[in-house]
Structure 1
Amino acid sequence: MRFSLKTLLWGTLLIAVAMVGVSAMFPKPVDVQVSAVVSGPLRVTVQEDGKTRIREKYTVSAPVSGRLSRIELNEGDFITEKTLLAVILPSDPAILDKRTAAEANARVQAAESAVRRAQSRQQQARINLELSESKFDRAKRLRPEGAISQEEYDIAKSERLAAAQAIETASFDSEIASFELKMAKAALDQFSADDVEVTVEPFEIYSPITGRVLRVLQESSTVVAVGTPLIEVGDPRNLEMEIDVLSTDAVKIQSGAEVTIEHWGGGSPLKGNVRVVEPGAFTKISSLGVEEQRVNVIADFNEPPERIATLGDGYRIEARITVNQLDNAILVPNSSLFRHDRRWHVLAVEKGKAMLKPVETGLQNESQTQIVGGLAEGDSVIEYPSDKLSPGTAVRVL
């Protein structure tokens, strides 16, 4: 049987049309990446940069006027309560008159009142610690029985930690008050005079605490007046965190909230708890030139001293502050959600096809979203759905 060229061309055309029709009836599946709908805990956090700071710094000032001898200490030097910080020599006896002596006597009386006030605060801190420990012990017994919620247990725990920190702060304040009283009495003792003359001895200033030198404010020998800052000291082991957050995030943060410190230079994250959210905000210019209202959040480390021994004053940290937490929730990746008809939707995979499903969402963090309705655990949803997909499109899971 002989075929003409015309018959051959028509046959080829018919075969091509048939292949196009078959391809239209059975489209090639679209490759997709899917994720399973899982059930698990969800933690919602506020992530911001912060810095460490020594909880109690002390600036040693000149209690008397005179010539300051050169301070031999350097930043970072270790000091104890027996370390000599500075020596002030008499420079002009004419300034040490009766008026100055009366002022020194008044400073002694003020320092004595400060000591009594510090001792009262220390006793009050001990009482608060005993109460918070009692509440926490009771919470530990009641929590396994389900008599109290996890939130009530966390509050009792944070109150105990805050009370323990308050004891340290009160003890430090008492030491400082005693030191200031000692300095005031020493300044008053300078005036061992009769009606005619006044004798003055060199005035030695010792460290009020055990710690390290943070800054030397007056290194060279010079004449100083009363109250001139000389040296700043503190204990780097007594650290806290200062984290500035947006005011819109600050209203979500509660005292006692868990804090995770990342990228601080160590091998694993550190833990802490929020002690206080400061009531006042301040304006800060962002890197984009936008004015922002920021709030300082102060948090305590909840780690043994050896874990934070390498940190110092003013070190940069990245903190995640927990603002909400669910123990068990239905979760999907944020990358699977998109808006359609003013509602949240996902493309679920059913029998090899993409199916459009509306969902109700709950809490959300930077990677996952809680699903309140529309999906069940074990369902598969498409991540990063492209414009090639529509309801009913055949898909192939990679």
Structure 2
Amino acid sequence: MTPPPDRDPLALDLEPRPEPEAREAAPTPARPPARRGPALSWPRRLVVAGLLAAVAAVTALSLRPRREPPLPVQLATAQKSAITRKVTAAGKLQAATTVKVSSNISGDLLELPVREGDRVRKGQLLARIEARRYAAQVKQQEALRAGASADLAAERVLIARLEQDLGRVKRLTAGGNASQAEVDRALADLRAEQAKADAAAERIAQADAALADARHLLSFSTVASPIDGIVVTRAKQVGERVRGSDLNEDPIVTIATLSAMEAKVEVGEHEVVYLHEGDPAEVEIDAFPDRKFPAQVIEVAKNALVKNPGTEAEVTTFPVRLALTAAAAGSLPGMSCQATISTETHRDAVVVPIQAVTVRTEKELAGAAQGAPGAAPPAGAPAPAAFARPRREPLRKVVFVVEGGVAKARPVETGLADESAIEIVSGLKEGEQVVEGPYKALSRELKSGKPVKQEQPDGGGR
């Protein structure tokens, strides 16, 4: 249809248009009714409620912190008994008396009638050395002594004659037949001869001394045993040359008194301070493993033996001699042995097994006292320097006392100790139970306040 001429065709048609006729409303289809399940019976509702309650209880229990299980340990009771400090050391057997027999003169060994293991008596012939030179010296000194004796005899004869002459001159002088000068001359001659006689007597004494020395040297050609004992070493053979010298030792044989044996052991510097002469001991010889021989300390050396000086393996020990008070039949010098020396005994001491005493740091003990193993340092404590060298924390000896199924660390002071027990000087009373094992629990796992239970002998918990 053509718009009227007086109307702009681009103008908006703002006039209201007539609304179209309302469409005839279509009928809405009807929804089917919702299906409803069968209603739960009261027994089923109770079962569901019980399941929900069980799930809630299990969830609540899983969220609660679990109680720490008790640690299986071995317990011991502190008792009163006598305890003895014992020091153990290892060493070697040696004869109580050992003599190295050497020669005082040099020469070829002509005779050696003894062998190793032979029993000898004091004064018995051990060796004979070639001594022709010393025999010749004896003869020479004997000749010199004989010559001096002859000179003395001649002087005595001459003195007797001069004494007679002097008496005759004196009588002539008294009768006026001789002068005083003749008397004086006769007296001088007599005195001169008497001096010569005195010199001859001194030469005899000198010859006697030289002869005695020569005979003494000649006696060295036979070597005799200085003691009763057994030949343990034969260092020379017939035909060898021995060197007699006061500076160099050249033993021919070694004799030892095996009837009396000693043990020479080395004791550490931390234990030697407890030893005294006369302390009783027991010696175990490796060759006789089932026997113990009583002994006694007879010497504690004052000179130290330092091994590996200046290194990390440096060890300082002191030699200690023990005399076996009972015969050790069959023992020989050089056999290995171990000595157990009893140094001190305390009566009625509170003792526990030695493995029950362990160590803890001061920090661990302080944390246990505050209820927190890693307790923070107190307020106001100086903070450690960033680059400070860590200090070694001091250690305290403790035992874990069991009270009401809980182990509590208790610092103690210890005293004497033997192979299996240790004395508690303070910190523990008789009758209290302490943890004595196992080692892993005592050294690492066990802390103050930890629940424990006694372990069965077969290893199972009770």
Band the TM-score falls in, shorter-chain normalisation:
0.5 to 0.7
Residues 291/351 of structure 1: CA separation in 2 closer, same or farther (3 Å cut) = closer
Q: Which residue of 1 aligns with 2:405?
A: 352
Deviations 1:129-185 (A, max 9, x none): xxxxxxxxxxxxxxxxxxxxxxxxxxxxxxxxxxxxxxxxxxxxxxxxxxxxxxx98
Could you tell me which residue of structure 1 aligns to residue 315 of structure 2?
292
Using the TM superposition, give the Cα deviation of residue 382 of structure 1 relative to its aligned residue in structure 2, in angstroms.
1.0
2-structure distance, mates of 1:295, 1:99: 54
Residue number in structure 2 paired with 1:24: 66
1:72/1:219 contact within 8 Å kept: no
The corresponding residue for 2:422 is: 369
| 2:93 pairs with 1:52 | yes
Give the one of 287, 290, 293 matched to 1:265: 287
In structure 1, runs of 5+ residues without a counterpart are 103-183, 192-200
1 CA distance for matches of 2:220 and 2:287? 46
1:277 aligned residue: 300
Q: Is the 8 A contact 1:214 1:232 kept in 2?
A: yes
- 1:395 equivalent in structure 2: 452
Q: Structure 2: 5+ residue runs without aligned partners?
A: 1-42, 143-210, 363-394, 456-462
SS in structure 1 of the partner of residue 115 of structure 2: coil
Equivalent pairs, count: 302
* Structure 2 residue 434 is the aligned partner of structure 1 residue 378: no
Q: Quick check: 1:236–1:312 contact (8 Å CA) kept in 2? A: yes
Q: 1:321 aligns with which of 341, 346, 352?
A: 341
The 3 A distance-change label for structure 1 pair 247 and 24 is: closer
SS in 1 for 2:58: helix
Q: Where do residues 208-357 of structure 1 align in structure 2 (5 Å cutoff)? A: 208-227=226-245, 228-266=250-288, 267-285=290-308, 290-303=313-326, 305=327, 308-337=328-357, 338-341=359-362, 342-357=395-410
How far is 1:95 from its partner?
Answer: 9.0
Distance 1:290 1:96, change over 3 A: farther
| 1:136 paired residue number | none
Query: Could you say which structure has the higher strand fraction?
Result: 1
Determine the C-alpha separation between the residues in 1 that align with 2:336 and 2:95.
13
2: CA distance between counterparts of 1:202 and 1:371?
66
SS in 2 for 1:97: helix
Report how far residue 265 of structure 1 moved: 3.2
Alignment root-mean-square deviation, CA: 3.7
Measure the CA separation in 2 of the matches of 1:230 and 1:327.
Answer: 54
Contact 2:104–2:220 at 8 Å: present in 1 too? no
Aligned-partner residue type, residue 77 of structure 2: A
Note closer, same or farther for the CA distance 1:62–1:365 as it changes in structure 2 (3 Å cut): same
Q: Deviations along 1:182-236, whole A, 9 cap, x unmatched?
A: xx98971676xxxxxxxxx994433333321111111231233435421111211
Matching residue of 1:97: 137
Equivalent residues of 2:96, 2:323 under 8 A apart: no
Query: What secondary structure, in the 3-state scheme, does the structure 2 residue paired with 1:14 have?
Result: helix
Cα deviations across residues 368-392 of structure 1 (Å, max 9, x unaligned)?
3221222221211112445554444
Alpha carbons of structure 1 residues 378 and 8: separation in structure 2 relative to 1, 3 Å: same
Query: Once the 2 structures are TM-superposed, how far is the Cα of residue 24 of structure 1 from its aligned partner?
Result: 3.3
In the alignment, the residues of structure 1 paired with residue 104 and residue 141 of structure 2 have an alpha-carbon distance, to the nearest angstrom, of 12
1:188 aligns with 2:210: no
2:271 aligned counterpart, secondary structure? helix
Task: Give the structure 2 partner of residue 110 of structure 1.
Answer: none
CA distance in 1, matches of 2:436, 2:406: 14
Q: Is the 8 A contact 2:85 2:345 kept in 1?
A: yes
> Does the CA-based 8 Å contact 1:68-1:86 persist in structure 2?
yes
Q: Secondary structure at the match of 1:46?
A: strand
**Offset at residue 317 of structure 1 (A):** 0.9
What is the letter of the counterpart of residue 231 of structure 1?
V
Shift of 1:281: 2.2
State the partner residue of 1:125.
Answer: none
**1:35 aligned residue:** 76
Distance 1:24 1:366, change over 3 A: same
Partner SS for 1:52: strand
Pair 1:79–1:368, CA change in 2 (3 A): same
Amino acid at match of 1:97: Q
Tell me how far apart the structure 2 counterparts of residues 202 and 382 of structure 1 sit (CA, whole Å).
73
Counterpart AA for 1:265:
A
Question: Residues 14 and 73 (structure 1 numbering): CA distance in 2 closer, same or farther, change over 3 Å?
Answer: farther
Deviation, 1:321, is 2.3
The answer to whether the Cα contact below 8 Å between 2:79 and 2:352 also exists between their aligned partners in 1 is: yes
Give the drift of 1:237. 0.9
Residues 33-55 of structure 1, C-alpha deviations (whole Å, 9 max, x = no match): 11111111222222211112112
Query: What's the % identity of the aligned pairs?
Result: 24
Higher RCO, 1 vs 2 (CA within 8 Å, ≥6 residues apart): 1
**1:89–1:202 CA contact under 8 A, matched in 2:** no
Quickly say closer, same or farther: Cα 1:185–1:65, change in 2 above 3 A: farther
The secondary structure found in structure 2 opposite 1:394 is strand
TM-score (normalizing by structure 2): 0.56
Distance 1:99 1:15 in 2: 124
| Separation (CA, whole Å) in 2 of partners of 1:189 and 1:359 | 72
Cα 1:44–1:219 change in 2 (3 A) is same
Contact 2:103–2:220 (Cα < 8 Å) also in 1:
no
User: What TM-score comes out, normalization by structure 1 length?
Assistant: 0.64
Distance 1:322 1:265, change over 3 A: same
What CA distance in whole angstroms lies between the structure 1 residues aligned with 2:216 and 2:413?
77
Change (3 A) 1:87 1:291: same
